[in-house]
A and B are shown apart, each in its own frame.
Chain A
Amino acid sequence: MRPLPLLLASLMLATPAAAQAPLAAQGCVGCHGPNGAGMGSVPGLAGRDRAEMIAQMNAFRANERPATIMGRIARGYTEAEIIASAEYFARQPR
């Protein structure tokens, strides 16, 4: 069914896997908008500083930061997932 032209397909396959959102970051976009662009009252993550996001997530996890729901969510993430997600969102255009 509709095979892609070979050249186009090669280009697509050449896209590094790192460009894709890690699945842990996919958990964020249900509220923070596509690519973490933000949505209404929920702040954007795209283009934010990587270290700031990691610090905030760790503060949520440790109950050091006032939270409506992020404390409950952050405690479900591993450190590696927090870092990978922060790196992904830091690279997204604002």
Chain B
Amino acid sequence: MTQTLLPRRALLAAAPLVAAPSVLKAQTQARLLVIGGGFGGATAANFARRTYPWLDVTLVEPKRSFVTCPYGNLVLAGTRQIGQITHSYDGLRARGVRVIHDWATGIDAAQRRVRLANGETLTYDRLILSPGIALRWGAIEGYDEAASETMPHAWVPGDGAQTLLLRRQLEEMPDGGVVGLAIPANPFRCPPGPYERISMIASYLKRHKPRSKILALDAKEAFSKQGLFQDAWAQLYPGMIEWVPGNRDGKVTKVDARERVLETEFGTQHKVAVANVIPPQSAARIAADAGLTDASGWVPVNPRTFESRVAPGIHVVGDANIPGPMPKSGYVANSTAKQAVASAAALLRGETPPEAVYFNTCYSHVGDEYGISIVGVFRPNAEGTAIAEVQGSGGVSPRGNHPEQRRLEALYADAWYESITKDMFA
């Protein structure tokens, strides 16, 4: 818990919880500012209004509606429409969140101010920063924003255009074509996401273009739920998917967007019909500009409060932070956002932040009525220096022949999507 508070806040922090008039006044005016309206930020704003009605909550998010990354792969499969994974901010407004659709362009951590693109300046008592990721243009030679118009990443959905572009390319591809994917090294957003994507593209191809192939070029030697994915691929899509790990020259280092060529570390050129390039990533730019990132490009945080290690008063949640052994997932963003808000509220009242426990449940669809999952429960260690998975808990679905389990997990995945998006936006 940091103590480098400004005088007014120091007074607030030292005040007991009894509703003495001065404290009450301060509490009703405590301003929680949230930057970013995704899984971390929307959860934070919603949870803050539901749980701490004395907080004045403002959310800054440039987009008018939010297209989720989760279930984007089902849009690629053709089993969901983009409108079904697009969410409005009206529910947050109805909860009393002031929603500002603009870009936050800079953070003054010392003065606790945030500048918006429209010139307005917002002041805060505590900031929840959930800015998401930046794609590292140029980390793969030739892969810049212009190249993504021919070789979509579909990894930062924005208004959905990237996902729809990849879907259209799959639809336009002749039967017998090769779909190439470039998959980055760790850490990156949604560790099982590329492999769910391979599965969902395969399910589309199997139905509509069965002579086609998928070439997955990976910078890694291992991936999330690997055994389960590969079992399912062999069972559902035999002969369709070739996964090339990094130690077999799977790492894509260069692309030619015009020729649709993916080139790997040792110079092998793969010409494909459709290319999905998921580039290396870092925390979104605003986090770096505010000096919150370390040499890795991600934001170190306190394991109990998710407060920045370098900037008191700023809690950084979602994919931008360094979450220890936890994945960069929507569930972790949701879970840690609640702990960050609870910590911020406690610190504003001069209380100790609550004991932390974090949850992750990530389902992946791999075929019709076929879902698999990874689960984790995590806590800070006794010293509060790091996060560790609770021993004996968590893990992946069992391998082997478990048809009922697979069907149920596909159903539970759909329930998860409905539940968590309601938790964020309703």
Contacts and interface: CB of A to CB of B under 8 A. Distances in A.
Interface string B382-426: 000000001011110100000001001101101110111011001
Interface stretch (B5-13, B107-115, B356-364): B356-364
A31 B419 contact: yes
Contacts of A27: 335, 357-359, 377
Given A31-B415, A75-B393, A23 B357 contact: yes
A12 B52 CA distance: 8
B117 interface: no
A32 B418 CA distance: 10
Interface in B5-52: 19, 24-25, 27-29, 31, 47, 51
B354 interface: yes
A39 B28 contact: no
Nearest to B420: A30
A73 B342 contact: no
Contacts of A42: 412, 415-416, 419
B152 to A, nearest CB: 29
Interface string B236-279: 00000000000000000000000000000000000000000000
Nearest to A1: B56
B338 interface: yes
Nearest to B406: A68
A93 interface: no
Nearest to B21: A6
B394 A72 contact: yes
B331 interface: yes
Interface string A45-69: 0000000000000000000000011
Contacts of B422: 33-34, 39
Contacts of B342: 23
A77 B416 contact: no
Interface range, A side: 35 or more
B334 interface: yes
Contacts of A32: 419
Contacts of B19: 10, 13
B305 interface: no
Contact of B409 (A4, A12, A68, A75): A68
A34 B423 contact: yes
Contacts, number: 130
Contacts of A30: 331, 334-335, 359, 361, 416, 419-420, 423
A39 B80 CA distance: 19
A8 B158 CA distance: 39
A68 B408 contact: yes
Nearest to B354: A23
Interface residues of B, number: 52
A40 interface: yes
Given A27-B335, A27-B357, A69 B54 contact: no
B373 interface: yes
A3 interface: yes
A69 B419 contact: no
B282 interface: no
Contacts of B25: 3
Contact of B393 (A15, A21, A68, A72): A72
B412 A31 contact: yes
Contacts of B395: 72
Given A30-B423, A76-B393, A13 B415 contact: no
A79 interface: no
A75 B414 CA distance: 24
Contacts of A24: 357
A47 B202 CA distance: 42
A39 B419 contact: yes
A10 B344 CA distance: 20
B339 interface: yes
- Which of B25, B56, B423 counts the most chain A CB atoms within 10 A? B423
Interface in A1-19: 1-4, 6, 9-10, 12-13, 15
B53 interface: yes
17 contacts: A3-B28, A10-B24, A26-B338, A30-B335, A30-B416, A32-B419, A33-B422, A34-B419, A34-B422, A40-B418, A42-B415, A68-B397, A75-B390, A75-B393, A76-B359, A76-B377, A77-B377
Given A41-B412, A41-B415, 6 more contacts: A12-B54, A13-B24, A30-B334, A68-B409, A72-B395, A73-B375
For the complex of A and B, list the 3 residue pairs with the smallest distance between their C-beta atoms, beginning with the closest.
Answer: A76-B377, A76-B393, A27-B359
